[in-house]
Amino acid sequence: MKQIRFVTAEEAVKVVKSGDRVHMSSVAVTPHLLIHALVDRGRRGELRHVRIQHIHTEGAAPYADPEFEGIFQLESFFVGGNVRKQTQAGYADYIPVFLHETQRLIREGYLKVNVAFIQVSPPDKHGFVSLGTSVDATLAAVETADTVIAIVNKNVPRAFGDAMITLDDIDIFVEDHSPLYAPPMPPISEVEYQIGHHVAALVEDGATLQMGIGAIPNAVLSMLGNHKNLGVHSEMFSDGILPLVESGVVNGKNKAIDKGKMVATFLMGSTKVYDFIDDNPMVAMMDVGYTNRVHIIAQNPKVTAINSALQVDITGQVCADSLGTRFFSGVGGQIDFLRGASLSQGGKPIIAMPSMTDKGISKIAPILTPGAGVVSTRANIHWLVTEFGAVNLYGRALQDRAKLIISIAHPSAREDLEKAAFERFGPHFHFVENGQ
């Protein structure tokens, strides 16, 4: 078994050269110690034009700051909260890509990785370490990077699946036992409970669930206590799923592939989630090219994919990555899962969102704000849910769907939306009642 020799983070990052591309592992295992050491080198003027690549990190992201212009250039696969302002201002940049293809950009050499910064669990007696909560595109970086630097951290859970790599995959070792990022769980508001209620009514026994983090997924999950034989095949899961596993509601028995297992590619939650996946053969942390591949997703029955949107127009175009021209997030896995759910036997692609923003703006609009990005097209959308109900737009003509969409808009916005639909579709529009 390879012997580990630890070096300091300062020593480790000396391997990075000007012009290199550095990949960073995601979210809960953001490699902060290495980031700090790299940024210090940048500050000392030792580096130029280093490209930073990641899906989404959490915590400070100094490499995206204006002071490092010409030194570090962020090319993220998703615009997280910690780099949003810098991306909107043009200092950092974003690569639009389906989440399942992030690994492909790396593996097929479109974006050659020179150095990978990762965090892993301590080695087991066979010389294996685990990527824990971030397999996503990080495994592709580990496979292809010239140099892999790993922080060995006892807080990284020993997750199975593709997460398991060997000591031989790593070139340089650094030790740090900082706790993993564990965001507070947002409280569930009344509106989110109502949305959760409408979505939960769509979830059938035996369904395979995909959902992200946040109050709406947690609201939905809190209402599934009497369901049977649910499964999980998702890009991530969080705390809301744990009580359903404990009670046996989530058991994966109805899945066609990975039967009995919960499948994800990255995770973010409280330490309870990280403890849950540690040494747990029920959880498979897999490459994003597997979790998010449409034809893999579609193999499970009744895939119920619950995603959200920033804005939806009255024809069913879904904007999820920008507020007008301002980038807010990314394409992410939305299309991967909406498409996979649509192709799954009995599957249900769902977009669930409040009818209004927290500032009282209707999220259902006559047209998308100029510059808004269509993440999911009219043809991809099936179920649309707000606190005012759930409508299925699949197979519906434009005028029908406008009527259905307006029926679940906030009441204060409906009159303006109906006027806009009338202007757009002409006098026949009002003859269509409730989309029937």
Site of interaction with ligand COA (CB under 6 A): 212, 214, 235, 307-311, 320, 323, 328-330, 332-334, 357-359, 361, 363
DSSP 8-state assignment for residue 202: T
CA angle 234, 239, 242 (to 5 degrees): 85
Q: Find the helix or strand (DSSP H, E) in which 307 lies.
A: strand 303-307
Of all residues in the shown chain, the one whose CB is closest to ligand COA is 332
- Comparing CB distances to ligand COA, the nearer of 153 and 311 is 311
Secondary structure of residue 284 in the 3-state scheme: strand
- Taking the complex as a whole, the smallest distance from the CB of residue 236 to ligand COA amounts, in Å, to 6
- Taking the complex as a whole, the smallest distance from the CB of residue 89 to ligand COA amounts, in Å, to 16
Q: Find the helix or strand (DSSP H, E) in which 211 lies.
A: strand 208-211
Q: Which of 20, 90, 95, 13 minimizes the C-alpha distance to 56? A: 95
- Comparing CB distances to ligand COA, the nearer of 42 and 373 is 373
- Comparing CB distances to ligand COA, the nearer of 156 and 209 is 209
Instruction: Give me the helices (H) in 130-200, please.
Output: 138-144, 190-200
- Taking the complex as a whole, the smallest distance from the CB of residue 212 to ligand COA amounts, in Å, to 3
Q: Which two three-digit tokens encode residue 417?
A: 């939306």
- Comparing CB distances to ligand COA, the nearer of 109 and 186 is 186
Spatial distance between the Cα atoms of 166 and 159, rounded to a whole number of angstroms: 13
DSSP for 311-371?
Answer: EEETT--EE-SEETTEE-S--TTHHHHHHHHHHSTT-EEEEE--SB-TTS-BSEESSPPTT
Under the phi-then-psi rule, with left for phi > 0, alpha for psi from -120 to 50, and beta for the rest, what region is 258? left
Catalytic residue among 101, 192, 235, 387: 235
- Comparing CB distances to ligand COA, the nearer of 39 and 365 is 365
Q: With 0-12 CB in 10 A as exposed, 13-18 as middle and 19+ as buried, what is 76?
A: buried
Spatial distance between the Cα atoms of 69 and 36, rounded to a whole number of angstroms: 17
- Taking the complex as a whole, the smallest distance from the CB of residue 120 to ligand COA amounts, in Å, to 24
Going from the C-alpha of 327 to that of each of 35, 42, 54, 221, 348, the distances in angstroms are 24, 26, 16, 29, 28
- Taking the complex as a whole, the smallest distance from the CB of residue 147 to ligand COA amounts, in Å, to 30
- Taking the complex as a whole, the smallest distance from the CB of residue 313 to ligand COA amounts, in Å, to 10
- Taking the complex as a whole, the smallest distance from the CB of residue 309 to ligand COA amounts, in Å, to 5
- Taking the complex as a whole, the smallest distance from the CB of residue 249 to ligand COA amounts, in Å, to 21
Spatial distance between the Cα atoms of 235 and 137, rounded to a whole number of angstroms: 12
Reply yes or no on whether 235 is catalytic. yes
Contact yes or no for 167/150 (Cβ under 8 A) = no
Q: How many CB atoms lie within 10 A of CB 246?
A: 10
Spatial distance between the Cα atoms of 368 and 354, rounded to a whole number of angstroms: 16
- Comparing CB distances to ligand COA, the nearer of 144 and 265 is 265
Spatial distance between the Cα atoms of 240 and 1, rounded to a whole number of angstroms: 39
Query: Which residues are catalytically annotated?
Result: 235
